[in-house]
Structure 1
Amino acid sequence: MNTELASWLTLHQIQGLGNEGLRRLLKIYGNPARIFSAPAQDLQKIVRPAIAAVIAQGIDEKVISPIIRWLDDPQNHIVTLADQNYPQALLNISDPPTLLYVKGRTELLNSAALAIVGSRNATPSGLYNAEIFARAASSTGLCIVSGMAHGIDAAAHIGGLQENGSSIGIIGTGLDKVYPAANRELAHRLGADGALISEYPLGTPPIAANFPRRNRIISGLSLGCLVIEASMQSGSLITARMALEQGREVFALPGSIHSPQAKGCHHLIKQGAKLVECAQDILDELREGSTKVILESTTPEKNHLQLLTHLGFDPVDLDSLSQRSGLTIEALSAILLQLEMDGSVATLPGGLYQRLR
């Protein structure tokens, strides 16, 4: 069994630790193996005593063995903060997931992407618009990201899968479950020709609270978010709000003033979302005149090289490095972890980092 992966999986399964707690531990200890070798009394200074006691018990092979068996399928993957395949776009959101379950094409995780979301109870016109907007954007190389729900989400995925950009579905259950069940065929298509992503462990059932949380990943992966048909109570407005908070562009398709399904979109437009009438309106805004700009979005390798330049060869703390690079502490911690794993950076006492090569 891969000890490094086993460490990540065990930590990710600990109830109550969460992304924030795990990131705090990683910031201090550098990688999961060092967390497990730390004395319990030291861990208690960072996390609750009950969680420290669980960590002190070591890797739980019984808990993670079903996940290891799941990975026997070549379509299935685990992507951690330490992996170069980890979506670089998520490093700049306030709560990046520390571990992702992925089924399908991992190379799509760092594609330039457009989120398309909207009503589960969409009109025929809304479904048509979602599919043609997604197909047009996908034909330029943009990957279409949505939430695998009925209605607009499903239509957007179908459109995205028809062209080169393909599509990613972000789900709020474990990847061994399909929800809603009616989208089973679509889930199989995404797993084969696109990708499915979840931050939730295998076996996680549909829990209402998980779906708003997964919305931050939908918007976080994307350059912008298009809302097609949404009532004022629609969860799509949550995704749009998260997109704004993350510094992403927000677009909305207007509709009839008499349609309840247009109220949410009109509200977004009043709040400053960009009104769009065709896919070209979105492409022009995102690419600034050239599709090439979209397709040449920052790669993990470029991020790593840029950060190494900011590091220099003298020891430096995270706050200073954040000022030099303009990156958040969360983004820095994730990239530094990746650089440490490949031997480019070392952690020093006192929370300092030093470039090795």
Structure 2
Amino acid sequence: MKNKLFKITLALWCIPLVTTANIDPKLHGKFTKEKTIKKQFNVSSDALLKLENSYGNLHITSWDQNSTTIEVHIQTSCDNEKKAQQRLDQITVDFQATNAMVSAETIFGNNRWGWNDNNVSIQVNYTVKVPVNNKLDLSNDYGSIYLNQINGSTEIQCDYGSMKIGKLNSTSNDISFDYTSDATFDFINRATINADYSNFTIQDAKQIELEADYSNSSIKNVEMIDFSCEYGEINIEKAGKIIGEGDYLTTKIGHVEEAVNIEGDYGDIKITEMTPKAKDLTIKGEYTNVEIGYNPSYHFDITAELEYTKFKHDNNIQFNIKREKSTESYYQGHHGSKGKNSVQIDIEFGGLKMIRR
């Protein structure tokens, strides 16, 4: 009897539910059809979960069970009831599962269909629970990705959507997103990030390698970052070591506690404070305005080679060499004790300003 009840329960768990209703306000149509597909798989604690979806959201929660549950809610909407039902019938999910790997891919049938092709709008939402030590491979277009935290490695791709990510605790995270308007990360241990035409915020990170074009990057705290960016803005409130290249980029850095090495053309570079803990500072740029603030306890030797560049500074830097000509100038000096840290500045066609905070 118990066996029979178990089989009936499992069957009900996997049967798609189909109804007619107007549920989601994003679905503009007189008739809305929907179905829900549910699956549950027993997996190893460090298994891989692969999800591939479009036109909807991935909502993933990690837990302490060696089990992966996936619920897929599919909706179609149209003023023509027959077309809404026909499109719903064409959308399926391909599941593959072993103890070491679970994958789910949304199949849209006719590839010519899109989010609202033929006046039928679509939404496919995944709600997933996964072991906290699992690895993730996520791909989602035209939708959002939500994840609380994960200990395993990740590959995350999101285009034309948004992301709200909690903690990525692994030292291996590969993240890429295009045209993503709002992406947030609470904590990243270590990651490679590739972003185009996007905005994102990282609250706390240990090590970041960033490539971003036409994007606004905001990082509250990072121990080490290596960035290469074109067009847009990068804003780092607090950092350890910074290595960067930027063209047509606005670079804003708050408080620096280790070394800085930045090359930039056609942009602005502003550092609020080189703290007492900070190390060497190297900046090279063309058509770039540079402003550097430094703590009274940050001691350094400075060499500045400038062409078509004005140098504004206070009286706290002691110069032993000053060569100023109409188009080029050379400065050598120090602030505080000699031989502590090195500041190297090389700018053509720009401006340089240094202020003690």
User: Shorter-chain TM-score: what band?
Assistant: under 0.3
| Highest RCO, 1 vs 2 (Cα 8 Å, sep ≥ 6) | 1
- Bigger CA radius of gyration: 2
Q: TM (normalized to structure 1)?
A: 0.24
What TM-score results when the alignment is normalised by the length of structure 2?
Answer: 0.24
The structure whose residues are more often helix, as a share, is 1
**Larger strand fraction of residues:** 2
